[in-house]
Structure 1
Amino acid sequence: MEGETMEEAFRRHREASIRGIENHFNKLQKLLEAERNWKKIVDARNKAGFTEEELPDNKEDDEPQLLGEIMEAVADIAEMHINVPNLTLEHREAMLNVDQKRIFDKIKSHLISQKEREDLLENESSRLLRLDNIKPLRMFISGVGGTGKSFLIEAIKCLVDDIWHPKSGEIMCAIVAPTGIAAFNVGGLTIHRLFQLPIEHEGKTAGYWALSKEAQKRIKMTLKNLKIIVVDEVSMVSNLNLAYLHMRLEDIFGTDEWFGSKNILFVGDLLQLPPVNGRPVFKKISNKLVKTRLGAANAVNIWKETVEYDELTINERQKGDETFFKMLDSVRHGCLTDETIDTLKSRVFKVSIQEKYKELESEGTIPPICLFSKVDACQKINELMLEGLEIEKIELACVDVVDESGSTAKFDKKQEKKLEKLKDQPSKTAGLETVLSLAVGCRVMLRRNIDVTVGLVNGAIGTVMGIYATRISIKFDHIDVPCDIERGYI
């Protein structure tokens, strides 16, 4: 707004974001209430003795669960776009630094030219115009943490809305990320959810599978006016998932052009977290994976073939702390300077982790986070911290439920032994523990994505407020009111 400082503008932007989260939480509560009401209806129907033959046939030609996931994802991304903090494009542009503005102007020029071309095509059927289409924008925007990548993404989303003026529920800018927490941070969805990509299971990525005709029809109708895709935290996207994304967009938009002939921006820092059980996005896919996962004969380096490079270099977050910035940069490159090593050594403490934790906790309002390189060390400190709470501990044992509906094979002792081996390997059970030890007041982290739109994502941290028979009440740090996590997600 006119007359306000940049700090005031950012504060107003943050408050608007918080209001958006509150709106999403209210929506979640309504959805949960609707689900409870629906269960009552189903129970009443079952008690009345209705058979499947007596009920209306509402089955789709396609797999109902897949179609439901597609439509839920589409509805969520449309809802999140409606609740973007209310800053005008003019305000956002004014808040960009010279580095961000340079890249923003390049994207803006391209999108405006595209809109002008679309307007000409709408009023002119000339074949020459159609042959002279503008080549889609395919750009990688690099930058270390603190260079304003997320803020630039928000400005680009606002730019798309300003140019095309989407109708309610219409998606023109799809923002995605490889993880739930990354997607939430930029107001998007996971790339796997929106585009229904194959997911990893037990450390192995599934082969590519095409959508059915009905599923493809639905997602194509919803994304028919899509202008641009933004993929954040691209360092965690594997080269195989990049190929899957390209193939999915080919299927959706019916073209063999790269990424469905859509504008696509990849954002992130390739020196940050790499893909889990995969090769970096810029590496060529091996011939073996091309054959077994893609069903093709020859490998190709999609990243090298398609992506243009640009970079943000002005670090807004570390301004005023040059020493810390240099230390982060040397760690990022894996080349520690003597100065960095000396600084890190000066931070080594000799007291126990519990004592240090309590000391840090007493110094600030936000409880500190302890990072460990191995799971065993993490579990040990969790147990010690839990013992330090002077309150009753509750142990929740998992219940294994086997779904045999989709297979003719029955669950036998062989499968039971295999399941038994997984009880101490939560990484292979979607992060679910065999026994979960909790207490009111303990700090916890969510290990699964429940609802990206409200921030209930893998990695969300909070404090246990109450433990009940079928749910746990948790006050997450980034959500103003406690959330009930149902037993099925615990």
Structure 2
Amino acid sequence: MEEKLEFSTLQTKAIEAAEKGRNIFLTGGAGVGKSAVVKEIIRRMEAKGKRVVVLAPTGKAAINVGGETIHRFFRLQTSPQVADLYEGAKNLDYAIRAKLQNVDLVIIDEISMVRRDVFDVISAMMLNARFDLQLMVVGDFQQLPPVMVDRGEGSDKEILEQHYKTIGEEWYDGAYAFHSKAWLDWDFELILLSKVFRQSDVKFIKALNLIAQGDPQGKACRWIQSHSAQNEIKDCTWICSTNRDADNLNAENMDKLPGEKYIFEAEISGDEGCFKKESDCPVPKTLELKIGALVMTRINDPMGRFVNGSVGKVVSINDSHTKISVKFDDGVVEIPKSTWNDNEYKIVDKKLETRSKGSFVQFPVILAYAITVHKSQGATFEKANVRPMCFENGQLYTMLSRVKGVEGIYIHGTLAKKYCKSNKDVVDLYSAMREANRVDDKIKFAVKIPKEKEAPIKALIRRYLTDEVFARNIEALMG
């Protein structure tokens, strides 16, 4: 029998808003259950015969959500979407128009990594195709920002800054999707999930929230440093800010292991170009393992024996090389190869269908001596060693929020405030959303509590809640 999921008040609000046809911006910090809400919305909408398209900014993210990349769906270049490309939105390609006219709900995951110019163009395309299209964007702007690269003829930042100034629009650092004028056109219902499921320590959650806001006074950095593990955690993953650091640590530790090296090549089939780029593959095309190698799972086990981010050691490989056995803290699990599909949406007989362009078969693990912050997104770690030398907005917050508890973190060196980077516009956006949640909760609280129950409820609040700010708000509310 399928387990019935229970959703929080705000999660339920998001699900009901989607069922009512509203455009939604679903956000919240790490571990608040955004993915669970999206899955439930898709399930309910499809049960009602609604057609849902799920898009993401990167190949890996698209594969993980069973959807398609934004760029492929809308036939966009990867370079900045400047003036001449806006013409494509006005004179919409027939195939794109047909797809959009045959869909009821478009969901864009990892919205924090969608650049402003991309959101501008795809919004123009969607609204051009049909005015009543429902859009839901999901993600956390406090985490990793849109990628800006230097293409030789100027960086993306320089090209986009010049573009927006040329067309008379103000330039905002970061070029987030919410900086787009089109963001307001969608009239999103803003839903900020606040109940954290990944962590349970209230003080650690508050410290992470301060890190997300840039930790203005450095208090959260000092608190985490003093309450984290004081020595490197054995047989544990390092989270690094650069590929070079992660690759070097993985190579060094593999070289130290004795015994035979087993090499597993992914089985790739389908259209030419599928899984061509290593960065679009869910796990390495060429996976090198040894007995005793530390590995991390990259999927959630349907039987619940491990999750995305579980770490263990390879203890055996069967003779046919079709299964590996990994020893986790809870015991040994035999893991077969997994299959991932590279999907695209196509119109077939005037109906929108999901078509697999190709498949990728490989063991669902990666070497776990080290991993980058970007690759750690979406994973949950029981414990981790971290190198906190971060250089991007949201990087340190993403790094630390992967771990369930502060005692499960070892910090190499000093957790200096200079590594805690955030974008002011993002901080302001989330401060406003938190305040809106607080006021909304305060109104509901005032309406629902009968006067004769105020005293015992106030006593319970004082006894069980450690959040002093919340307690002061209750005092102000009740007098």
Higher-Rg structure is 1
**Which bracket does the TM-score occupy, shorter chain normalised?**
0.3 to 0.5
Give the TM-score normalised by the residue count of structure 1: 0.47
Greater strand share, 1 or 2? 2
Give the TM-score of the pair, scaled to structure 2. 0.48
Instruction: Judging by fraction of residues, say which structure has more helix.
Output: 1
